[in-house]
Each structure stands twice: as C-alpha cells, then as structure tokens.
Amino acid sequence: MSNGKSVLITGGTGFIGAHLARKLIREGYDVVLFDLYPNPHGIEDIKDRVKIVEGDVADYNALAETIERFNVGSVIHTAAMLSVAAATELRTAYNVNIDGTFNILEACRIAGIDKVVFLSSLAAFGPNSPFPFHEATYREPASFYGVSKVCGEVLGTFYHHTHGLDFRCVRLAVVIGPGRRGKGATVSFSKFVEEVVLEKPGVILVPDYTILPIIHVDDATDLLLALWKADSVDKRIHMSGGVSVAIEDFVSEVKKQVPKADVRYEMDSTVEEVAGTWTLLTTMLVQQGQEKVYREIEEIGWKLMIDDVEKLAAHFVKEIKDNREMYSSY
C-alpha cells in the first residue's frame, strides 16, 4: 500500500498525530513525525520506531526537504493551531493553519505525492449555515479556526481538480482522549479526565452546560486510517458523527469511574465564547435529529464504536490507568 515509502504526519507528536502513529507502526508502516515542538513523552512507547523531524508547516523549505529526505509517499496533515489560540493570535494561526496547508499541498504537488489526508472540523459550519448539515452545505464558520479549516478544504479540492492530487478530508467532531493539550475550548473535555485519574484537581474552563459533539481519538484515528487506506473515494470531503455530550454529564460518568475525582470550574471568557458557539451548533444538530447521521461511513468501511457517554468515560479512564507512567510525564 505504501510502495516502500514513508507516511508523513504533520503535528506528528501531538494528540491525534501520536495516536495515529501508534496504529500505523503496529501495521508495519514507516512513519515520519513532523512537529514544530516535538513531544517525546507523547510517543514514549514508539519513539525508537519513528523518525522525528523538528519543523514548522509554515516553512515550505523544511517540508520539501523532509519529503525528499525520507522518501515520503503520502501525508496526513494534523498540524493546526486550536480554536482559542487561533482567536487571539490571528497572524500565527493564519501562518500555521492556512499557509501551512498550502505548503503541504504545494510541496506534495512538486514532489509528485498523490495522496493527502486533511483534518478539517465541524467548526467549518456556523449558526447561519443552513440545515441539515452535510458535505455540500454552505459553510459560514463562526471562529477563525473554522475559517482556516474551510480554507484548507477549498485549497485541497482546488489541488485535486487542477493538479490531480488525491485530496481526502474529514470534518471531525470534537476529538477527546488522553494526551490532548493546547489552547482549545474543547481541551477541557479531555484534560480534566487525566488530571483526576492521576489524583490531581481536574480543572474545566467551560460552563457545565457546554455541549459538544464528541468522538474518541480511537474512533477518529480509525476513521483517518480507513480514509487513507481506501483505494479510492467518491467524495473529497467526509463528515464524522459523534456523541452529543454536556460537560456536566461527562463529569458525572467520569466520577463513576473515579469516585474521589476533584473537579473544579474556572471560567475563561475567550474559551467560554468559543464553547458557546459549539454548544449552539450541537443543540441545533440534536434538534434536527442529525447527531447520529454520520456515525457510519459505508464508503470507507468505518463505524463509530465508542457511541455513548458511558463508553467514552470508561474507555478514557482505563487508557490513562493502563498508561499512568506515560501520561504522568506529559
């Protein structure tokens, strides 16, 4: 499938990149992790089985050199500045999320790489996007992060139609799981679980009524692998479903797994604003009966497995307990 070539993951030692790399390594692929701030703790168990390159997706030359040096055959582009940071650091977010995606596509075109998988987001939609949501729905994002994801989608489809690049994209629901870091409104749904399992105060930066469409990182990376492996796809853009969960309900389920959990709410106005947009969109999805529509993508043989809040909490807590030493060192 890889024709003896490497798979390049941008943001490779980050949250989704690291989980994805583990699965590729287990299947015998040669993996290169490209990351501006490599985090060896996040890949402690596989760091001797991957190649790590410290580099910035905003630096075209660094990308091109890495692609040539490691005989890269395909790219899975996960690198991005998250929602809260993007809202407050617009220029940097533009450089990373928009210029960085352009650099990936252009470097692949010049190098003759034929496949790029791009992580987009349901943040591509906004309150004024018409219902029901689907792949071809008009996009009107309410955040700069969402704007940058829409730009990536448009750039990728342009490169497909104009240059024949096999661009594949998925708009992911909010991905949670161990190892999630960064300045994103949705990070609270992950980080507090790690903290309470490791017997620390679990700090949540969003109101308890915040509702998000959640997908566990195991399901998300299974989807990415299925999309990457498919011989061909009929659509350039796919959507993933998730589980619509209020943070207060998720906390309740986590406390069943960790009865002594010390959970604290500390409001952050920027985080709260972004979370409010997500809550509005999720509520609209639920009201329209759409929250379960995209839990299966027959075209690539993927189905959501961790499909309710009880499973989400139990699976998450177990993974941290089973890998306590690794997650304690983050």
Domain with CATH 3.90.25 in the chain: 176-213+243-328
Class of residue 311 by CB neighbours under 10 A (exposed 0-12, middle 13-18, buried 19+): middle
Q: What's the confidence (pLDDT) of residue 79?
A: 97
Task: Name the one residue in this structure whose structure tokens are 């999320």.
Answer: 97
Q: What's the confidence (pLDDT) of residue 274?
A: 78
Domain with CATH 3.40.50.720 in the chain: 6-172+215-238
Cα torsion at 296, 277, 235, 9 (round to 10°)? -90
Choosing from 37, 60, 94, 145, the catalytic residue is 145
Class of residue 276 by CB neighbours under 10 A (exposed 0-12, middle 13-18, buried 19+): middle
Q: What's the confidence (pLDDT) of residue 1?
A: 45
Tens digits of residue pLDDT in 1-21: 456 699 999 999 999 999 999
Domain spanning 176-213+243-328, CATH class: alpha beta
Structural tokens at position 281 = 């969109």
**What are the residues whose beta carbons fall under 8 Å from the beta carbon of 170, sequence distance 6 or more?**
117, 118, 119, 120, 223, 224, 227, 237, 238, 239, 240
d(CA 230, CA 168): 10
Residues of the chain with pLDDT under 70: 1-4, 184-185, 289
145 annotated active-site? yes
Contact predicate 1/231, CB 8 Å = no
Contact predicate 92/36, CB 8 Å = no
Q: Count of CB atoms within 10 A of residue 273's CB?
A: 15
Q: What's the confidence (pLDDT) of residue 3?
A: 64
* Architecture of the domain spanning 6-172+215-238: 3-Layer(aba) Sandwich (3.40)
What pTM does this model have?
0.93
Q: What's the confidence (pLDDT) of residue 317?
A: 96
3-state secondary structure of 91: helix
Q: What's the confidence (pLDDT) of residue 185?
A: 67
d(CA 85, CA 87): 5
Task: Name the one residue in this structure whose structure tokens are 């990308």.
Answer: 63
Q: What's the confidence (pLDDT) of residue 284?
A: 77
